[in-house]
Structure 1
Amino acid sequence: MQVAVIGAGAVGCYYGGLLLKAGHDVTFIGRQLHVDAINAHGLLLDTKTFNGRLPARAATDTTNLVPPDLVLFCVKSADTEAAGASLAGRLRPETAVLSLQNGVDNAERLSAVTGHAVIPVVVYVGSEMAGPGHVRHHGGGGLAIGPSAASEALAQMFQAAGVNITIADDISKTLWSKLIINCAFNALSAVAGISYGPMLEVEGTRDVVTRVVQEATAVARASGVAIPDDLLAHILNIPTLMPNQMSSTAQDLARGKPSEIDFLNGHVVRKGAELGIATPTNQALQLMVKLAERAKEGRRAD
């Protein structure tokens, strides 16, 4: 299958790399640093069970992209419209487009830009770009895909590539549950530069995480989303399962890249304001990350 990965970062390179290893023809669209490394040496896929280089094609834009059978759309939420516009005229009617992005509304935003159906996917993986063209897997790796006519065949393809994937009956519930997990941990991990395990050992952290989850759950339920009652207990157990994981927001902040905080805690704050639900803890975490970003900008300017 011809696969295009739009946004060849930690998520795109991990899942694109697994499809590449399984024999699919994968083209990676990403930043110059990674594109040059992939074209020169192949993608370095570094997982729990495999470590090796896989020959692949990469480019910094879609100018010469052959219309693919499958698109893995993995750009940051703020770049959805711009990256989506680059796909105009490059999709066939039968092309399957998957949004593997944080947040809850990217599939709709991408579909509006491309005029093409987009299937939302929820990602449960810990991975990072450990160097140019080098994706390192830390844990997890499962996917939940929204229902569509193509979802069963796509699920079989991912399963064959070693990805545990489920078709979610209620993808809105799954998207919001993942968003709430991100709201709970991403900002705290980023501002403190701390992984999940040690974070929860600090007195008071559980209380803050609990308030974040309660606020976000109230907003989700007021939006008509059926958040499960045991989500908080599940979230508080995540640091035990992934003690060494740093959030994607922490990785962005460490590298001086814009974060997605406005589409995580910020989304909860905006929706809460629309619905008349107070979200002070989420707002505080959103602000903390934006202040940290501003501080880094100031240090670079100096």
Structure 2
Amino acid sequence: MKIAIMGAGAVGCYYGAMLARAGHAVTLITRPQHVRAIEERGLVFETRAFTETLSAEATTEAAGMTAADAVLFCVKSGDTEQAGREMAPYLDAEAAVLCLQNGVDNAERLQAVLGRPVLPTAVYVASEMAGPGHVRHHGRGELVIGPGPSSATIADAFRQAGIKTEISDNVVGALWTKLIVNCAYNALSAIPQLPYGRMIAVDGVRACMADIVAECLAVARGSGIRVDDDVLDVVMGLAAGMPDQSSSTAQDLARGKTTEIDHLNGYVMRTGAALGIATPANRLLTAIVKLMEESART
């Protein structure tokens, strides 16, 4: 398959690397510093088990997705509409578009821009860009995608590439589960710039996380979303599996970049307000991260 990754950062480069290793033709649409590095030496793929350099096309232009069989949409949530407008002229009529973003409403927003179906996809991977054109994998990597005409073909290709992939009629519930995990970890680890293992070991943090999860669950259920009852156990168990991982919010703040907080804790806060559900823990975390973003601008 010819596969394009729109917004190939840590998540996109991980899946691009896995697919390239399996022999697919991968084009990474990414930032200039990554394009230069990949053109010079290839994409460096570092895992706990191995490090290797892979051949992949890289460009800064959305035109790189021309004739792609599938497009993995991995831009930051705040860039969804703009990136959607940029890619629309180059999408093949039969191309499958998968939305691999944080948050729960991006596929719907992208679909409105493109005027065509988009497969919502819940992503569970810990990765980071260790340098230009260098992706480092810390753990996990599974996908949950929504049903659609191309879902089975895409899932088979991904599984053959070593990517655990599930097709689910409740992908919205999976996206909410991922949102709840992000709400519990991202801001709390970003504010002190601590990896998950050290963060969760601090006295009182688990109780705070339980408060955050309770608020998220109340908002999800108030929205009619079906979320598994064991989500709190999932949240509390995550740090043991990836103790050295830093959240995407922590990485953004460390680099002076705008975070996705409005699409994580901020989304829960706004939805809760619309439903008449109080979300003080999520509101506080949203405000603190926004204060830190403002401080970085001065």
Deviation at 1:48, TM superposition (A): 3.0
Corresponding residue for residue 100 of structure 1: 100
Q: Residue 3 of structure 2: SS of its match in structure 1?
A: strand
Corresponding residue for residue 130 of structure 1: 130
Cα RMSD, aligned residues only: 1.0
Corresponding residue for residue 222 of structure 2: 222
Corresponding residue for residue 184 of structure 1: 184
- Going from structure 1 to structure 2, the CA distance change for 1:134 and 1:227 (only over 3 Å counts) comes to same
How far apart are the structure 2 equivalents of 1:225 and 1:95? Answer: 29
Q: Residue 192 of structure 1: SS of its match in structure 2?
A: coil
Q: Does 1:238 align with 2:269?
A: no
Corresponding residue for residue 31 of structure 1: 31
Q: Unaligned regions of 5+ residues in structure 1, if any? A: none
Corresponding residue for residue 54 of structure 1: 54
How far apart are the structure 1 equivalents of 2:216 and 2:52? Answer: 41
Q: Matches of residues 259-298 of structure 1 in structure 2 within 5 Å?
A: 259-298=259-298
Q: Residue 124 of structure 1: SS of its match in structure 2?
A: strand
Q: Output the TM-score relative to the length of structure 2.
A: 0.98
Q: Which amino acid aligns with 1:35?
A: V
- Structure 1 runs of 4+ aligned residues shifted over 4 Å read none
Q: Which amino acid aligns with 2:118?
A: V
Q: Answer yes or no: is the 8 Å Cα contact 2:29–2:64 preserved in 1.
A: no
Deviation at 1:65, TM superposition (A): 4.0
Deviation at 1:63, TM superposition (A): 3.5
Corresponding residue for residue 66 of structure 1: 66
Q: Residue 23 of structure 1: SS of its match in structure 2?
A: coil
Corresponding residue for residue 157 of structure 1: 157
Q: Which amino acid aligns with 1:250?
A: A
How far apart are the structure 2 equivalents of 1:239 and 1:52? Answer: 27
Q: Which amino acid aligns with 1:238?
A: L
Identical aligned residues as a percent: 54
Q: Does 1:91 align with 2:91?
A: yes
Q: Which amino acid aligns with 2:117?
A: A
Q: Matches of residues 108-147 of structure 1 in structure 2 within 5 Å?
A: 108-147=108-147
How far apart are the structure 1 equivalents of 2:216 and 2:188? Answer: 16
Aligned residue pair count: 298
How far apart are the structure 1 equivalents of 2:39 and 2:63? Answer: 16
Corresponding residue for residue 82 of structure 1: 82
Q: Residue 53 of structure 2: SS of its match in structure 1?
A: strand
Q: Unaligned regions of 5+ residues in structure 2, if any? A: none
Q: Which amino acid aligns with 1:97?
A: V
Q: Answer yes or no: is the 8 Å Cα contact 2:14–2:135 preserved in 1.
A: yes
Corresponding residue for residue 202 of structure 1: 202
How far apart are the structure 1 equivalents of 2:65 and 2:16? Answer: 16
- Residue range with higher mean Cα deviation, 184-193 or 232-241: 232-241
Q: Which amino acid aligns with 1:59?
A: T
Deviation at 1:89, TM superposition (A): 2.1
CA deviations on 1:124-165 (whole Å, 9 max, x unpaired) are: 111000000000000111111111121111111001111111
How far apart are the structure 1 equivalents of 2:64 and 2:46? Answer: 28
Deviation at 1:71, TM superposition (A): 0.1
